[in-house]
Amino acid sequence: MLKRNNLIVKILMALILGYHFDKNKISSGSNFAASTTYFPHHETITTLVKELKLEGDLEFDNIHHASKDFGNRYHHLPAAVLYPKSVYDISSLIKYVYQMGPTSGLTIAPRGHGHSLEGQSQAHQGVVIDMESLAQSQDMHFHIKGEKPFVDVSAGALWINILKESLQNGYAPKSWTDYLHLTVGGTLSNAGISGQAFRHGPQINNVYDLQVVTGTGQVVTCSEDMNSDLFSSVLGGLGQFGIITRAQIALEPAPNMVKWIRVLYTDFITFTSDQEQLITSNGSFDYVEGFVLINRTGILNNWRSSFNIKDAVQANRFFSKGKTVFCLEISKYYKQEDAEAIDQKIETLLSKLNYNESTLFISEVSYLEFLDRVHVSELKLQEKGLWDVPHPWLNLLVPKSKIHRFANEVFGKILTDTSNGPILIYPVDKSRFNPFTNEWANSGCILSEMGRVKLFGQNGNGWKTKTSMVTPKEDIFYLVAFLSSAMPSSNGTDGLEYILGQNKRILEVCETANLETKQYLPHYTIQEDWKKHFGSQWEDFVRRKFTYDPLAILTPGQRIFKKAISIL
C-alpha cells in the first residue's frame, strides 16, 4: 500500500509539473502520453449546480466580462462565474473540484478588478470567482487601538475604498500601488509596489494576517506565527497556492495634505544618484518615483495646469525635443497645521539635489487626491475611448549595478520616443527598512562596505525574504515599467506588434548583456522560463504548489503549472 501511495504522489507531482508518464516510468521528455479521459465540462458544471449549496450565485450567461482583462490581449471564456457571498462558497467549490480528482480538467481562477495583463485571472472553460462580489457582503473592521493598528478587509475590497474608509478614522494603509482601483487579493498575490516601497516595503510586507482557501478547499487563517509557510507562500505567490479571502492590513496615522513635486534632469547618472540618495537618507521625502521622457515636446506646458512653476521665464527656455530627459517625482506628506514647517523642510531637501533648477514644479493636493491621481488620467482616456485598448506592459526589476548599462542599451536606442505610454523608473532598497518596528536604522546597526546604514538581527531584515516574490539579489534595484498602450488595427509604431517587438528586444538585451533582471508581474509560456525566473526558489515553489494545490486547480492563467487529466 505504501509503495502504491508513493507512486500516486509521484504521478500527481509529475502531472502538475506538466510531465508525461506511464505506470513504470516518469520523465520530463519521454514519449509516453498520459491517459486523458475526463468529464465534459458542461456535465461537470451541471453537477456542480446540483451538488453545491451556495449562498451566492453560479452564473452561466452574460459572463463574457470574465474573459477579458486590462491587458486586453487574451480572451478565454470560462464555463461559469461564481459570485460568492461567503468564504464557504469558495471553499465548497474548490473542495468539490478537488474531490473529483485528476479525472476532471476543471480549473478555478479568482478575479478581482480584472487588471491582470496576460489573462492571469481567466480560466478557459473553468470557473472564475468574482472576488468583488465577496467584498460586497463583508464589512471592513478597524482596529486602531494598540501598537499595531490594522483594518480587517475582504480580499475583494478595492484599495481606493479602503483608503476612503480609513481616512474617516484618521488612519491609512502604509504602502500603495500607483493605481488604487485594484483588489487587496490581487495586489497581495503579486507584491504591490510604488514610490512608498523604499520606506514601507511592498504591500506584502504590511500584512499581519490572512484568510486563505487552499487548492484542496481548506479554509486556513495564517500569519508569520501561525501556518507561516502558507502565509509566505501566498504573498507574491501569483495565486498558485490558495485564494486570499481576507487580510489584516497595517495602518498608520494619516496625513491630509501632500506637497507634490516634479523636476527634470538631462543626465541619467545625476538623476539616479539623486534618487538613490533620497531612498537611503533618513527624514527624506515620503514618495520617490521617476519617469523617462524621450523626444517629447511641450512637457512643461502640460504640467502647468496642475503644478505651479517656480521660475516661468527660465522654464520657457527649456526645450526637450529630440532629447532624453528624466523626471524625478517626489512628495512630502503632512498635516495642514504643519504647512509652514514642511515648506522649510522641502527647501532643505531640494537644496541637496542636482536637478535643472528651471524645471521645478510644485503642487499642493489632498492625500486622497494624490494617491488616486492615476484614476483621473483613466477617466480622461475613457472619455476619448483610449482606455479599453491592448496594454502590452513590461515591468522589470533591474539591479543597481546594471541600471546604467540598461539605460544605455534601451533609452534612445530601442526606444526612440515615449508617445505610447509612460516609462517609470525608480529605486528601492530592500535591506534598509525594518517592517516590524516601522523605524529607520538608527540603533543596533552596522555600516556596510558602501557606508550605508544596514539593519541586523532578527527584526532587521528589510523586505520579507520568505514570500514567493522574486527580486534581484542586490539590495538596491530599480523598477522600470514600460506602460504602453497599443492602438487597435494600427500597423505603425503605436501598434501591438510593434510594441511587443520592442519588449522582446528589451528582454533580449537583458539576457545577452547578463543584466540579471527579474520580471515583475511576470508572464512566461513555458515552464523552463518559470524555473529560470524563480532560480534557487523554484524547488520551494514546486513544494508549496504540491502541498497546497496538489492538482493544480488554481489560477491556470499564470501558465506555471498545467492541470493534467488522467485515470490513475
Of the residues 115, 124, 391, 523, only one is catalytic, namely 115
What is the DSSP annotation of 275-296? HHHHHTSTT--SEEEEEEEES-
Work out the number of other CB atoms within 10 angstroms of the CB of residue 273: 14
Cα-Cα-Cα-Cα torsion 186, 189, 191, 195, nearest 10 degrees, comes to: 10
Residue ranges of E strands in 72-132: 80-83, 108-111, 127-130
**From CA 346, how far away is CA 349, in angstroms rounded?**
5
One-letter amino acid for residue 249 of the chain:
I
**From CA 463, how far away is CA 63, in angstroms rounded?**
39
**From CA 30, how far away is CA 22, in angstroms rounded?**
10
Tell me whether strands 242-253 and 171-173 are parallel, antiparallel or unpaired: antiparallel
Helices (H) and strands (E) in the chain, counts: 18, 23
Cβ(220)–Cβ(227) below 8 Å: yes
One-letter amino acid for residue 115 of the chain:
H
DSSP structure class, residue 364: E
CA distances from 281 to 306, 435, 442 (A): 29, 17, 11
323 bridge partner residues: none
Of the residues 274, 289, 409, 429, only one is catalytic, namely 289
- Residue showing cell 473529483: 100
How many residues in the chain?
568
**Among 477, 482, 471, 475, residue whose Cα is nearest residue 537:** 471
Residue ranges of E strands in 139-226: 141-143, 150-154, 171-173, 207-214, 219-222
Residue ranges of E strands in 324-404: 324-334, 361-366, 394-399
Cβ(162)–Cβ(140) below 8 Å: yes
**Among 470, 392, 457, residue whose Cα is nearest residue 430:** 470
Indicate if 115 belongs to the active site: yes
476 Rama sector, left if φ>0, alpha if ψ -120 to 50, beta otherwise: beta
**Among 513, 482, 517, 512, residue whose Cα is nearest residue 500:** 482
Cβ(390)–Cβ(72) below 8 Å: yes
Cβ(429)–Cβ(279) below 8 Å: yes
**From CA 69, how far away is CA 82, in angstroms rounded?**
17
Of the residues 178, 372, 409, 549, only one is catalytic, namely 178
Indicate if 75 belongs to the active site: no
**From CA 519, how far away is CA 514, in angstroms rounded?**
14
Indicate if 132 belongs to the active site: no
Phi and psi for 142 in degrees, rounded to 5? -95, 135
Instruction: Name the packing angle between helices 87-99 and 41-51 (round to 10°).
Output: 130
**From CA 27, how far away is CA 251, in angstroms rounded?**
49
- List the catalytic residues: 115, 178, 289
